[in-house]
Amino acid sequence: MKLVGFQKKRFEGTSARTLRHLGSPDAYSIQLLVFFVYTLVVISFLTDSILLQSFNPLWILVSGAGFLPPITIGFAYKLLFLNRATLKSRPIWNLVVAGLAGSARNLSVGLFAMWAGLDNSQLWLFRFFGGMVVGLAIYIIWSLSQGATTEYTSSLRKYSALQSELAVTREEMPELLSEVNEKLQQRAQISVLPQLDAIASVLGENRSGEVALGQLRSTMANEIRPLMDEIAAEAPRPFKERNIEQLRKVRTTLPSRYKLYESISIVGAAFTQSIGFGFWLTFFFAGKGLIITGLEITIYGVSLWAFKQLIPKEREFKKIRATILTILMGAAASILTVVYLATIETTPLIYWVLTGISIFSGILAPVILAHTRARIKRQQEIETKISRELNSLAKENSIFAQRVWVFRKRWLLLLHGTVQSALTAAISRLQSAEEIDEVTVQQVKQDLRRAEAAINSSSTERLNFDQAMQEIKAVWNGICNVEVEVSQRAQRALLRNGDAAFCVNEIAKEAISNAVRHGSAKNATIEIDRVEDDLIHVQVVNDGILAKIQERQGIGSSMLDEICLNWSLTNKAKRVYLTAELPIQL
């Protein structure tokens, strides 16, 4: 039975996860705006005030006004496109808008600075591309961190919802099953019993055979058969997932403790630092700047790696202490790059600008990436729990479906067999009788009482599983040689659970019938095993004509969809394999 709600999620590779984070519509948020403003305020102070040696208070106004164009671009993109489009990943569009926002910020600062008389350098091309690089760097860093945060929140919501759902499922199942059986019986009683009473009354009052015969035929055509069709068409109501909107307030936080050694990403931190830092080195030193960038990043990466080795690999740190240690390691590694910068011939102003950028990015990168890794690890742990809970919920659904299906099937057999045969016998007696004498009346009334007793019965007769398997072999004797192999573990479980035994028997009957009718099979083997404590494995192998796997729509496949956890029909080595798994409640 297919699980209603969440589908089992496969863990993705790093590149697939990264692209999904970059393209997430949730990345454009108020938190991104705050991070964007905070980062660019620091960079503006380093590159405008310190580099130009201009500490005029007007820079505050110029810097603030420079945020209007990028904020407008971001809000327009969010409101006019992301909020109206389908929720799918758009990494290219998100990166383009981030680059444009960064360029718009840098160009607007240049225009306002020129207007205020603070800077007349007019390096528009540099401002355009420099702003684009910075905008992309800020967005990439944020989206990777925010992507993990968003998925972590989603995992928490799913896990909370599933825990609640499983508890309700187990609590409500007995009541719901009883309700299903009672409704089936009530419908049969309401539809058929008044008709039977009316027929008995007609026979008792005036012995009118024609009237009774007409009422019997009408009951068969208008009550019994429509009721059978209605029961056959119904599907069990699976347990739906609850509305998780109420869980929107689940707070996304770092795990209270995590392994710091596993969370420090050397390559990621070095790459993140190189995006902005390398741009400024290339700008100040041209081609030589690329070589300096390579050496700087090597020094930073090796230093950060060396500091990382001082951390116990298996020790978990409290999140505050882990964050402080990450900051200290990032600062120490950055200071070593600053020491190297001091050996390069440059002006004091450029040196201090590069120093500030190096320390700022050298601390920011490992902290954000460490938090991201810790969240992703915690998210994966939660997703593993969710996967187990999903499997458990799927089994609960399947067991519920089995039992409802058994109720329906037994009522169909009862209506089709006992009730319909009793009424058919009554019709035959009335049709064949030359006159309606007392003997005929009593015989017809006895048929009616038999039908009434069947409708009022509980319809819970247990199946003799061993006998049922022998009956399958006997039915096809001389047509198809059927072998049955049942493991002891499976046999013990099926003896304890009559509903599961009933389902397995129906699967076996359907499989053999299809193998003979559609595949002209001459030999078939039914193998039944309990591979897990709560899982029955059924495999029916036959030597008939190979099955058309794509043609799965029919009564048999509908039954399998309804009562099985999963099933498949395959061809292998000139054999047809029907494999099904049913959860069993012991």
Residue 351 has pLDDT above 90, yes or no: no
What distance in Å separates the CA atoms of residue 130 and residue 103, rounded to the nearest whole number? 7
Highest mean pLDDT among 187-201, 207-221, 317-331, 410-424: 317-331
The pLDDT confidence band at residue 4, using thresholds 50, 70 and 90, is: very low
Q: Which of 292, 278, 297 is nearest to 345 (CA)?
A: 292
Check if the beta carbon of residue 340 is closer than 8 Å to that of residue 295: yes
Q: Which two tokens stand for residue 582?
A: 């049913």
CA distance readout (Å), 577 to 42, 482, 483: 67, 14, 14
What distance in Å separates the CA atoms of residue 446 and residue 245, rounded to the nearest whole number? 59
Q: Bigger pLDDT: 537 or 219? A: 537
pLDDT of residue 87: 61
- For the stretch 409-468, pLDDT in tens is 766 656 655 566 677 777 777 777 667 777 777 877 787 777 777 677 655 556 788 888
- What letter would DSSP give residue 579? E
Strands 566-572 and 523-532, by their bridges, are unpaired
Q: Is the pTM higher than 0.75? A: no
Q: Please compute the mean of the pLDDT values over residues 175-193 and round it to a whole number.
A: 69
Residue 9 has pLDDT above 60, yes or no: no
Q: What helix, strand, coil percent values describe the chain, rounded to 5?
A: 70, 10, 20
Angle between helices 348-413 and 287-308 (to 10 degrees): 60
- For the stretch 478-488, pLDDT in tens is 888 999 999 99
Lay out the sheet containing 575-583: strands in order across: 481-486, 523-532, 535-542, 575-583, 566-572
- Residue 101 CA, chain-centre distance (Å), reads 35
- For the stretch 497-517, pLDDT in tens is 888 888 888 888 888 888 887
Q: Please compute the mean of the pLDDT values over residues 379-407 and round it to a whole number.
A: 69
Q: Which of 183, 228, 224 is nearest to 448 (CA)?
A: 224
- For the stretch 116-166, pLDDT in tens is 777 777 678 878 887 888 888 888 877 776 666 666 665 566 666 655 665
pLDDT of residue 289: 78
The pLDDT confidence band at residue 2, using thresholds 50, 70 and 90, is: very low
What distance in Å separates the CA atoms of residue 88 and residue 351, rounded to the nearest whole number? 44
Task: Tell me the pLDDT of the chain averaged across its residues.
Answer: 76
What distance in Å separates the CA atoms of residue 303 and residue 433, rounded to the nearest whole number? 106
- For the stretch 268-323, pLDDT in tens is 788 777 766 776 777 677 778 788 888 888 898 899 999 999 999 889 898 889 88
Q: What percent of the chain has pLDDT over 90?
A: 9
- What letter would DSSP give residue 2? P
The pLDDT confidence band at residue 247, using thresholds 50, 70 and 90, is: very low
Residue 530 has pLDDT above 50, yes or no: yes
pLDDT of residue 354: 79
Residue ranges, comma separated, of all CATH 3.30.565.10 domains in the chain are: 465-583
Q: Which of 48, 18, 47 is nearest to 139 (CA)?
A: 18
What distance in Å separates the CA atoms of residue 441 and residue 9, rounded to the nearest whole number? 66
206 burial via Cβ count (<10 Å: 0-12, 13-18, 19+): exposed
The pLDDT confidence band at residue 190, using thresholds 50, 70 and 90, is: confident
DSSP letter for each residue of 238-289: PPPPPPGGGGTT------SEEEHHHH--HHHHHHHHHHHHHHHHHHHHTHHH
- For the stretch 66-103, pLDDT in tens is 888 988 998 898 888 887 766 677 888 889 999 999 89
Q: Please compute the mean of the pLDDT values over residues 19-39 and round it to a whole number.
A: 77
Check if the beta carbon of residue 526 is closer than 8 Å to that of residue 568: no
The class (CATH top level) of 465-583 is alpha beta
Residue 24 has pLDDT above 70, yes or no: yes
Amino acid residing at 384? T
Highest mean pLDDT among 43-57, 164-178, 260-274, 533-547: 533-547
User: Of 99-113, 198-212, 311-325, which gets the smallest average pLDDT?
Assistant: 198-212
